[in-house]
């Protein structure tokens, strides 16, 4: 049973477009929701994170939208660039950061 469900599995976007990746969770105890970016052959790296006391967080072209009542959160990449082509993972944890639960990942390809 996957505690964090991520969609879509893969995504193709044209350069300059908006990439949207969605995640849903069941455990209402989750209180930390990060997004990680992974390039081929590399380890994941933290991109942006949010806590449930805010509905949106923006860092440059990357925005997390959080809907606590729907138990959903999403990553929006504005003005997508070929360099954004990577695999993106959403994750969640509760009561500290010891046990991060990851989604299955979304492979994003941004075409020039």
Q: Which residues bind another protein (CB under 8 A)?
A: 4, 6, 9, 32, 34, 41-46, 49, 89, 93, 97-105
Nearer to another protein, 76 or 107 (CB): 107
CB 28 within 8 A of CB 71: yes
Nearer to another protein, 32 or 71 (CB): 32
Give the 3-state secondary structure of residue 82: helix
Q: State the minimum distance, in angstroms, from the CB of residue 68 to another protein.
A: 18
Region of residue 61 (phi > 0: left; psi between -120 and 50: alpha; otherwise: beta): alpha
Q: State the minimum distance, in angstroms, from the CB of residue 27 to another protein.
A: 13
Q: State the minimum distance, in angstroms, from the CB of residue 36 to another protein.
A: 8
Question: What is the C-alpha to C-alpha distance for residues 23 and 108, in angstroms, rounded to an integer?
Answer: 15
Give the Cβ contact number of residue 14 at 10 Å: 10
Nearer to another protein, 33 or 80 (CB): 33
């Amino acid at each position: 049973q996957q505690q964090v469900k991520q969609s879509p599995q893969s995504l193709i976007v044209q350069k300059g477009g908006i990439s949207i990746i969605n995640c849903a969770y069941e455990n209402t105890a989750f209180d930390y929701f990060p997004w990680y970016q992974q390039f081929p052959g590399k380890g994941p790296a933290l991109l942006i994170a949010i806590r449930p006391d805010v509905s949106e967080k923006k860092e440059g072209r990357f925005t997390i939208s959080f809907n606590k009542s729907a138990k959903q959160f999403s990553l929006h990449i504005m003005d997508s660039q070929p360099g954004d082509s990577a695999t993106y993972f959403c994750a969640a944890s509760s009561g500290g950061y010891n046990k991060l639960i990851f989604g299955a990942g979304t492979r994003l390809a941004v075409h020039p």
